[in-house]
Structure 1
């Protein structure tokens, strides 16, 4: 079982799906679910910030996204920077509040718990008070680049 989720940073809304396994097809199904839902269906641009997971990594994933959804832009975070992706904050909350300590008789019960938590979260959540700025990111990328060059030398 795999849980795929998209997080709208402006509305604090999670749109998620449960799939049999990870992969390109289940990720594409999530993208379709989101991109055919308002306000994304009529948006001029929708940014998808993703880590480098196998279902959405590399140049081919950008090409697939562009071909299927011209208004969507896939943005890959640097390796080891998934903490910049706000859906990761949601995953942490989900883990702590709905999964850890749970005793699930099977994967179906776990899937129901995950989706029920998603619904409850959406009913009460507010956008994260995100304080990480573009300047912070640029500083981090500069330090990462400098570190990479030092390792190569």
Structure 2
């Protein structure tokens, strides 16, 4: 369900139209568009062995379980290339995000002239995090190859990476996973399969649609 402001919000529509303009760009390997998002997964250990499945009945698990930490997922998704990478860590600190961005620039797209990174405006999603994590020369070099585009507040649904996380939750994370290593293994397998099959998102919401369907968000202009 979309979460949007109830009425006129110039800041929202400005950020929204910027994101939608990015999504209309033609594919250019020198200037890839990458959507980035984060989420968390509760690791859960079984207290009792599961009851094996039988004909006509699936495997059954006890209602009791043991919490076993939280796995943090950081996703980088290039929609026009049907490519995604998901890092699994034990925290969502600025340094973890910075390392993911460095991998994106130096390993995933080393030949790109500039990468447009679409993400929410969490306080760790800034160039400052790069300077906290790396020497100034490295941080500056990364910033030279990045363009940050932020989704508006209450507009996370505009991030295509969130759509990918929704699919991941339904297809991979909709069961108990005992520990971080299990989460990492399952997520890696899901990501590899999805990349190989070149699964894409068919994004149909454009600026023209926004100006009609979300007309109440646009400030009234008096002539």
Normalised-by-shorter TM-score class: 0.7 to 0.9
For residues 210 and 116 of structure 2, what CA distance do their matches in structure 1 show?
17
* 1:80-102 C-alpha deviation (Å, 9 max, x unpaired): 111111111100000000011x1
SS in 2 for 1:122: helix
Q: Residue 12 of structure 1 aligns with which residue?
A: 82
* 1:64-85 C-alpha deviation (Å, 9 max, x unpaired): 5683331211111001111111
Q: Is residue 87 from structure 1 mapped to residue 156 from structure 2 by the alignment?
A: no
Q: Residue 42 of structure 2 aligns with which residue?
A: none
RCO greater where, 1 or 2, for CA within 8 Å and sep 6 or more? 2
For residues 160 and 209 of structure 2, what CA distance do their matches in structure 1 show?
15
Runs (4+) off by over 4 Å: 62-66, 137-142
The correspondence for 1:30, drawn from 100, 103, 116, is 100
- Structure 1 gaps of 5+ residues are 148-153
Q: Residue 41 of structure 1 aligns with which residue?
A: 110
Higher strand content, 1 or 2: 2
User: How many residues are matched?
Assistant: 141
**8 A contact 1:98–1:114 mirrored in 2:** yes
For residues 93 and 144 of structure 2, what CA distance do their matches in structure 1 show?
21
Higher helix content, 1 or 2: 1
In the TM superposition, residue 125 of structure 1 has moved relative to its aligned partner by 2.7
In the TM superposition, residue 145 of structure 1 has moved relative to its aligned partner by 5.2
Structure 1 length-normalised TM: 0.79
- Structure 2 gaps of 5+ residues are 1-70, 131-138
Alpha-carbon distance change, 112 to 127 in structure 1, aligned in 2, over 3 angstroms = same
Measured on the aligned residues, the alpha-carbon RMSD in Å equals 2.5
Structure 2 length-normalised TM: 0.56
Q: Residue 28 of structure 2 aligns with which residue?
A: none
Q: Residue 50 of structure 1 aligns with which residue?
A: 119
Q: Is residue 71 from structure 1 mapped to residue 145 from structure 2 by the alignment?
A: yes
Alpha-carbon distance change, 21 to 10 in structure 1, aligned in 2, over 3 angstroms = same
In the TM superposition, residue 142 of structure 1 has moved relative to its aligned partner by 6.2
For residues 50 and 117 of structure 1, what CA distance do their matches in structure 2 show?
22
